[in-house]
Structure 1
């Protein structure tokens, strides 16, 4: 599998499906056919429209689409996006709200690098903008990063987070969603020991696999069912000639998308069947519920092979975070060194990706944090997506997170001087 030919084959299949959809839509929409109405032509056009759009989205990075936000003064303020830190594998960006005073709450959202773009957290960003200065990690698609930029594994990812937190300073409140939760915890511990003045004020971990073995799910237990050799042989490919990252070994987003869809194949098949019927009846819209969801869901990005493989091996197989034996460039990170950061975990009762028990394990690891600075919330009836972007987040979890941030806003820090030279 580790050849450019296999990567290009997947892209060829995707491109062909997009072309077939576009061709079917164009042919069935030929003006002369309107003289003899035929329901089969209508269905053909509907199938073509849905198919073309779906396969086209798979290689497009979604736009943030956040143009304005309503503020306390009752006016809509324009939102612009500024890059605070630019790096080859990801940027730190800031959503600047024009014409309002800077908010006291400074929030860093750590977005997952698990196959989707950071725009997956668009609704999370929108919900926080009225009350916070929002920053987010914007990870890049590995297929667009030249091989000359080098590797990017879990240690590099963690050091990126360290640098981002140092850039934003000790008043920042970090919220890590899903996959990055273990590495964000490690980055905070690394700062606590190496550069304590730059530790965040609070750390909120949402639905992350801190201890995957606490309550295994089909997703988190996958790494235990295959060897690393099998995983590398089956999942890793080289970027084809079409992209800047030609030759880079990656875990392709299209392969990840196939895994996502196969988990709930019947549900997705029914959703697309229903959408084709809605298009045929003229009941669909460019921004209807189906298109809003699948425009984001189908937009996938490649991960570097070393990041994917090291995540499986070190986070899931070896449980290095759960066992508190994670190392960065040979330095063993000690999570117990975190003493001044208030830590909150959030879990969903019906989360089938990171089940309850996996994330709250972080609190037991933070032995240096006083109990009064620890908090956990289990959201009843919520699934994985709902705890950071659905109604459960908007109505219940978001207010609790903001309250947690405010409760620790004026708490004095006791960290001593830097123990080692900053890196």
Structure 2
């Protein structure tokens, strides 16, 4: 399938469905039909509105939408998203809070590159901003990156993280969510061996596949069944003529989305059917629960082919991270070099993407890290999304993470942070 024609065919189908939705909505909304009692007109217009929005969102990068936060003085403080480090395949961005002095806590939030934009962590960022200076890895859509910019695989990803950590300095606390967990651990170990003074103070790893074989899921089962040749043949295409990255080999976002949707097809079908009925009855709104979720869920990005294939082969199939056999730019990464970075593992008991045990395996790799620097938390009843952006994150995990950061911030920082301790909130 490594052809531009197949990529353009998918984009044509998406564009056609968006146009059909817009046409149905406009045609069924003519004032001339207003006196008709035929319910099919309202249903047709509603279907058109939902279809148009659905297929339009698939190629639009969502906005962060974090305009302001309330400061300790009770005033609103505007938030600006500033690029701190710019790279061809991803930037380091800061959520700069106006009129606020630098915070005691400085957090680097490593966003996944697994089909969705970094904005998937919007609620995570918003929850951390009142208590910390927050920096995020903002990965770019591969379809928009010219072929002349070269490749981007798991080693390049790791080196990007190394550069970002170096830029922020050793007083940084790193949080990695899902896919980047093993590579963030590798970047920290790389710094521990090559530039120890640039290591972050703490590392919080949330629901990631450090050792995929520690607990089976549909993801790991698929990784075992399929060969690399099959995967390359099925999943990889060349970006079409519409985008700047024309000709680049990618795992297309639209193909990824089809895979995401098929995993819970019945639930998604029901959600869209109910939304059409709500629109027809006039009960829906632009920012209702359905649109808030699907505007983000449907916004997908292409991954470079080399990143996707090297992730499957090296992290899942060969288990290079789990076996402490990972090499970056010719340098063997030894996790035993991590001796002073505090590491906390967070897993969800009901996580069906990175099942409990996959992330916890990281602690076994840290053979020279004192037990006093290791911590773990298994959140009862929490699924994958809940441990970094859902109810479990808001009520339990976020306070635990901030307290862990304070406990490993050094005397001066811990003292300043202690002025506003974070307490667990009673769930409701």
Per the normalisation by structure 1, the TM-score is 0.97
CA distance in 2, matches of 1:224, 1:34: 57
Q: Deviations over 1:93-131 (max 9, x none)?
A: 000000111101000000000000000000000000000
2:315 maps to what in 1?
315
Q: Deviations over 1:256-299 (max 9, x none)?
A: 10110000000000000000000011100100000000000000
1:102 maps to what in 2?
102
CA contact (8 A) 1:107 1:135 kept: yes
The answer as to 2:281 corresponding to 1:281 is: yes
CA contact (8 A) 1:212 1:221 kept: no
CA distance in 2, matches of 1:267, 1:43: 21
SS at structure 1 position matched to 2:130:
coil
1:374 maps to what in 2?
374
The Cα RMSD (Å) is 0.8
CA contact (8 A) 1:108 1:134 kept: yes
1:232 maps to what in 2?
232
The answer as to 2:245 corresponding to 1:245 is: yes
Residues 49-198 of structure 1 aligned to structure 2 (within 5 Å) = 49-198=49-198
CA contact (8 A) 1:221 1:316 kept: no
- Of residues 218-227 and 300-309 in structure 1, the stretch that sits farther from structure 2 once superposed is 218-227
Residues 399-418 of structure 1 aligned to structure 2 (within 5 Å) = 399-410=399-410
- Of residues 3-12 and 68-77 in structure 1, the stretch that sits farther from structure 2 once superposed is 68-77
Q: Deviations over 1:190-244 (max 9, x none)?
A: 0000011100000000000000000010013321111100000010000000000
SS at structure 1 position matched to 2:96:
strand
SS at structure 1 position matched to 2:131:
coil
Structure 1 residue 359: Cα displacement: 0.3
Structure 1 residue 411: Cα displacement: 6.1
SS at structure 1 position matched to 2:217:
coil
CA distance in 2, matches of 1:80, 1:220: 39
SS at structure 2 position matched to 1:99:
coil
CA distance in 1, matches of 2:102, 2:221: 44
Q: Deviations over 1:313-339 (max 9, x none)?
A: 000000000000000112110001001
2:296 maps to what in 1?
296
SS at structure 1 position matched to 2:115:
coil
CA contact (8 A) 1:141 1:301 kept: yes
2:259 maps to what in 1?
259
SS at structure 1 position matched to 2:10:
helix
Q: Deviations over 1:353-392 (max 9, x none)?
A: 0000000100111111110110000000000000000010
CA distance in 2, matches of 1:333, 1:102: 33
- Of residues 370-379 and 33-42 in structure 1, the stretch that sits farther from structure 2 once superposed is 33-42
CA distance in 2, matches of 1:102, 1:71: 13
The answer as to 2:31 corresponding to 1:31 is: yes
Instruction: Return closer, same or farther for 1:411/1:217 CA change in 2, 3 Å cut-off.
Output: farther
1:12 maps to what in 2?
12
Per the normalisation by structure 2, the TM-score is 0.96
CA distance in 2, matches of 1:221, 1:108: 32
Structure 1 residue 37: Cα displacement: 3.3
4+ long deviations beyond 4 Å: none
CA distance in 2, matches of 1:177, 1:267: 25
Q: Deviations over 1:134-154 (max 9, x none)?
A: 000000000000000000000
Structure 1 residue 38: Cα displacement: 2.0
1:351 maps to what in 2?
351
SS at structure 2 position matched to 1:26:
helix
CA distance in 2, matches of 1:237, 1:376: 40
1:305 maps to what in 2?
305
**What number of residue pairs does the alignment pair up?**
412
1:417 maps to what in 2?
none
Structure 1 residue 36: Cα displacement: 2.2
